[in-house]
Structures are given as structure tokens and as C-alpha cells.
Amino acid sequence: MSSSSSVTSTTVNGTTRITGLSSGLDVDSIVEQLMTAQKSKLYQLQKQEQLAEWKQDAYRSIIEDIQTFSSTYFDITSSNSLLKSSNFNKYAVSSSSSAVTATYTGTASAGSHTIAVEQLATAATLTSSLAMEVAGGTDVSAGATISAGASFVIELDGTERTVTFDSDETYSSGTDLATAVQTAIDEAVGSGKVTASVDSTTGYLTITAAADSGIQEITLSAPASGTSALSALGFTSDGASLSNRLDTSDTLLEIASQLGIEDSLFNSDGQIELTINGTTLSFDQDDSLSNMIKKINSSSSGATMTYDEISGQLTLTADDTGTGSTLVVTEPTDATYGSSNFLSLVFNSASVVAGTDAVAWLDGTKLTRSSNTFTVNGVKYTLNATTTDTTTETASSITADEKVTVSLSQDVDSVYDLISSFVDDYNSLISTINSKLDEDYNYDYPPLTDDEKDSMTDEEITKWETKAKTGLLANDSLLKSFLTEMRSSLIESVSGLSTNIFGIGISTGTYDENGKLYIDEDTLKEAITSDPAAVMNLFTQESSSYPGTTTRITYSSSELRTRYKEEGLAYRFYDVIQKYIATVGDDGLLIQKAGIEDTAADTDNALSDQISDLQDKISAEEDRLDAKEDSLYEQYTNLETYINKMNSQLSALQSMLGVSSS
């Protein structure tokens, strides 16, 4: 009796497939071979889709290059814009003295000016008047005992000296102690450098820079070896300060202790409150000086606080200069908050210095300005220092050496560099486009199917696809038209102008160089020097009939022809570029063809439509192939079923006849 075995499977669409050994056929292999022959149309559609996608990418790469070129030279906001007359009307500015700096703003003419600075504009300021000192923390007004050989180190502006007491001495008063300390310091550093005294209120020994000594920073420290005198002098207690400089990371309480004003600086809540130009700010005694400064400077008070490490002074300065500069600082006196003494103890409110206006004589005319920076006739002046130390009543009283000469000369190099940069980038752009137009399409390297990729390495795939992508834009009519229109924009004359690019030293290369531009440096610089207005107008002249720029050109053909004839090269280029890559209003021709990412045209363009249509055809073809495959399997399933049935009948007959199936 014969026997058979089979495998039953069900496809995703519910079709039952029975493949087995009853027929002795490898059904899967047979169906696969039959389907391979059926897939040629699918492969062709997939390759067409891939080519369309690659072609779209190639177009978009060129569109991006054109956009970059356009935004650099034909965007009015660009610093290199060829549309701006100011970029062709530049002047170099020099000053005979650092007391005045000057810059060109775009409207000045060549020439020279003289300026004398009588007074600088200043802001209203409030400066701390409390002398910074090194102060002990123990009352020594009743005197002290110092052992022979006891010493301390004093550092004055970075220079260290050791101060030593030669004998055992007991001083019966603070005055005698201060005298002994003064003598010892003078022996170590020289007289007239610092002053030692005992504060009549606190009884603390203090050391300050002597008047007119020029000493800024004083620091005391214990000696590296031997007996320190600092303890006997009262400098080792918690309230003692060993430096006359503030540490901005210290808390306000620590700094107040250093200044000896902690008992009267804060209110009962341990706070300071200030109102600066109407803005009220509060600070806790645990806030650092640095945080206090930051809080003031970031507020809307219109003032800035600084700490000068050289002078050791805190300064509050109004943000505005001039006689109108305002700095009004008050403290609360109400019962709820109490009264702090920050102004009286640290700043001394009586020391506010009013702001002043700048006073200068420009070409013999007296000017008064609230700022040290101002613009006159296209030249921006910045006053850095006075040039005369007396109040000038008349221009004739100003001497020659008190005047600063500001000279303006035409900046030929700047204009030349702009045009040269444009020519270089233009050549680069047309070279890129021409290289794509001149490529030959390689028919030996069509796009790969997924099945073909499965048998290749990644490197092999990359090399293949690089060759497959060449020539996709060969002889492309759109790109050729774009290049032609740009070349025409350059060489055709501008209505009303007597010069052209050839007249200013720009020429085109040979025919096989595809319109490459060359610059004769001497000729171009001579044109810029001799007739800068002509060079400027050649690029920046607007159409008198239809002026301006717009990303949405809505003129008729005749209006565009008139506009084209009347406008300079930059505006012509702008119009040509907009014709091909505009994304506002009517899309440009290249945008209509391939679109560009991040715009509505990303999917609304001819190639995207073509790709979408191919994808629909691919989907339909895949459905057809699936149905075909199901049909083949159904046929072989029926065959398997029939053979199984025949085998069963044969087996039954043999059994009835007593015939062995073997």
C-alpha cells in the first residue's frame, strides 16, 4: 500500500496551501521560479521609483546651493548683499589719536574732520567712602605686652616684609602700642607707607595705607616660624581682619564685621533694604557680596554695582550717562521694616556725583551730547579721553595739538573683495551645475533590487549606487535655462548706464569653460576708485518702472522685460533666482519640478507626483503578484489533494485484492 505525507499552511489572506511529498515535487521552489519570471515588471517599477527619488535629491542639492548663493548676495539683510548701495559706498576711517575712535556708518563722504574733546560724558555715581583697613578684633586701648622676637608678616601690594619686636615690652595704653607698632613697621618697610593707630571707639588696632603712599592692598599673616605677635595685637579674634580687601564670596555679615559696622548696618531682621531709582531690593545678612552685586545688576533699577579690587571701593553707577543720568538711592524708615544704615555707613549718600554731558568741538562747532558715542554726517564718533583740560569758549582758542584728525578714504579693497567673492561663488555654482549637465548616464549600473542587494556587501552597494546616480541631470533643460538666464543677466547692458561688467574688468572664459568669470584686479580697482558710483549702479540700480524686491513676482511678461532692462545686475540675478527657486506665491520652476524640504512644496511637485504614481503602481503590481502566487499554490494544492486521493483509493484496492503495497 502506498503512503504519502504533506505539509499544510495558511497564508495571510486565508488561502490554504498543501505542499508535500505526494507528488514528489518541490512546490515552493517551483513557485518561486515561476514568480521570479513574473516580477520583472515590479522590478522595473521599483527601479523607476528609485531613479525618480535620486533625481529629486540631485535637484534639491542644486536648489540648496542656489539658495545659499542667493541668501549671501541677494538678501537685503545679508552683510554681503549686492542689493545694498552701502556695500559699494564704503570708506576706511582713521584717527590720529586713541582719544577718539571713529567708524563709517554708510552715508559719509571722503575727507577729514577735526575734533577736540573737552569733557567726557559720565554717569551719576555713588562710591563707598569708608576707608578699608586691616583691623583687630580685640580692644587694646589699655595697652598690651609683646615678647622679644615676636613678629608678623606684612604684605604691601604683593611685597612681603617681616615686622619684628626686639625686646619684651608692656605698653600701658593703646597710643603707646600703636606707636611701637608704627616704629616696627617703618623699620621693616620704610616710613610713610602705612599708618598704625587704635580706633577711639572700638579700641581695635588698625593699619591703613598712609595718605599719598600709593599702597593699595595690605595683608597681615603669622610668621613661618617663631612667636607670632598677632595675638597680642588683637588680630586673632573672630572679628579680626588680616586684609584691607573684601572677599566678594564673604557674607554681608562677615564683611560688616570686617568693617566694624555689623552692629549698625542691618535692621532687626538682619536685612538691608535699598530703593534704587524706584526699584526696591532687599538683602539678607547671609547673602554674599557677589550675590548682592548680581541682584542689583540684574534688576530694573537702571544702575550697576561694581567692586574695585585695586581701590577697595564699592561703586554704584547709573546705566545712562549725561546730565540726565539718574541715581536716587533711599532706605526705608518705616516702623515695619526698621531703618538700615547701608548708605550712611558704606556709601555716604552725600557723595553722589552727578552725571555730565560730553563736550567736543567738531570742525569748529561745539557739540554737547549725553553719550560719548554719537554720529554726525555718517561718521560714528566714540570719545575715549579728553584732549584739552580747559573749558573752551571759542573754537579759535583750541590749539592744533588739542585736535584729533579723523580721515575718511574710499575703501577700495572692501568693494573689490565683495565683487571678487561674488565672482568666486558664482563660478563655483555654475561649475557644480555644469558638472551635472555634462555627466553621462551609466546604463550599465541601473538601481539595485532588494534581491540583488542581498547578495552584495555594503561597500559593493555603495560603489554601485554611486555610479548609478551619475548622469541623472545630464542635459537637463531646466538647469540649462537657469544658467543661460544668469549669463544673460551679467552681459546684457543696463538701461541708462554707460558701463557693463567688461568695462569694470570682469570677463568670461572660453566656450568650453561654460561662462566662468575672470577678474582683472587692476582694472576693477581702478573702476572702483575712479567712478565708484558707476560700479555701484551697475549692481544696485533698481527699475524705475517696477522697483524693489519681492519673493512673489506677479508682473506680466512685458512688465518683467521692462524691469529687466532697467535694473542692475544684482536685481536681475534676484529675479532670475526667484523665477527658479521661489517658495512664496507661485513656486519657482525648479521647486515645481523637485520641491524642497520644510515647505509646502516638499510633496507638491512633479517628481513627488511621479514617485507617488509609481508607488501606487508598485502596490498594484505587488497585489497582482500575491494573487498570482496564491493561484499557483492553489493549483499545486489541488494536485497534492488529487494525488493523495488516488493513493488512498489504490491502497484500498490493493488491500481488497490482498496485494501488498510494497
Mean pLDDT of all residues in 123-133: 79
Contact 217, 156 (CB under 8 A): yes
For the stretch 614-634, pLDDT in tens is 999 999 988 888 888 888 888
Number of H helices, E strands in the chain: 17, 26
| H or E segment to which residue 420 belongs | helix 412-438
Output the pLDDT for position 4: 42
Q: Which of 349-353, 506-510, 524-528, 565-569 has the lowest mean pLDDT?
A: 349-353
Q: Phi and psi of 528, rounded to 5°?
A: -65, -40
Q: 84-120: per-residue pLDDT in tens?
A: 998 998 888 999 999 999 998 877 778 899 999 999 9
Q: Domains in the chain and their CATH numbers? A: 6-35+615-657 (no CATH), 54-86+414-602 (no CATH), 101-121+357-409 (no CATH), 138-221 (no CATH), 252-351 (3.30.70)
Q: What's the chain's average pLDDT?
A: 87
Matching residue, cell 615678647: 147
Does residue 281 have a pLDDT over 70? yes
pLDDT at position 91 is: 87
Which of 494, 503, 509, 527 minimizes the C-alpha distance to 416?
A: 527
Please tell me which residue, 612 or 554, carries the higher pLDDT value: 612
pLDDT 10s digits, 487-507: 999 999 999 999 999 999 999
pLDDT tens digit sequence for 33-80: 877 778 889 899 999 999 999 999 999 999 999 999 999 999 999 999
Per residue in 363-390, pLDDT tens?
Answer: 999 999 999 999 998 899 999 999 987 6
pLDDT of residue 336: 44
What's the distance, CA 131 to chain centroid? 44
Q: Supply φ then ψ for residue 201, to 5 degrees.
A: -90, -50
Q: E-assigned strands of 517-593? A: 517-519
State the average pLDDT over residues 8-31.
Answer: 62
Question: In this structure, are strands 506-508 and 404-410 parallel, antiparallel, or unpaired?
Answer: unpaired
First CA to last CA across the chain, in angstroms? Answer: 6
Return the higher-pLDDT residue of 58 and 598: 58
Cell of 590: 525648479
pLDDT score recorded for residue 259: 67
For residue 129, name the pLDDT band (cuts at 50, 70, 90). low
* pLDDT grade for 510, boundaries at 50, 70 and 90: confident
- DSSP one-letter code for 119: E
Summarised one tens digit per residue, pLDDT across range 314-356 is 899 999 999 999 888 887 765 444 455 677 667 755 578 899 9
Percent of the chain with pLDDT over 90: 59
The pLDDT tens digits for 422-459 are 999 999 999 999 999 999 999 999 999 888 899 999 99
Query: Which residues, 6 or more positions from 223, have their beta carbon under 8 angstroms from its beta carbon?
Result: 151, 152, 153, 162
Predicted TM-score (pTM) of this structure: 0.63
- Residue 136, pLDDT score: 83
Closest CA to 50 of 459, 472, 581: 472
User: Which residue in 318, 329, 269, 259 sits closest to 289, CA to CA?
Assistant: 259
Q: How many residues does the chain have?
A: 662
Q: pLDDT grade, residue 485 (50/70/90)?
A: very high
Backbone angles phi, psi at 549, to 5 degrees: -120, 150
The DSSP output letter for 350 is G
DSSP string for residues in 339-384: ---HIIIII-GGG-B--B-EEEEETTEEEEESSSEEEETTEEEEE-
Assess contact for 407 and 33: CB atoms under 8 A. Answer: no
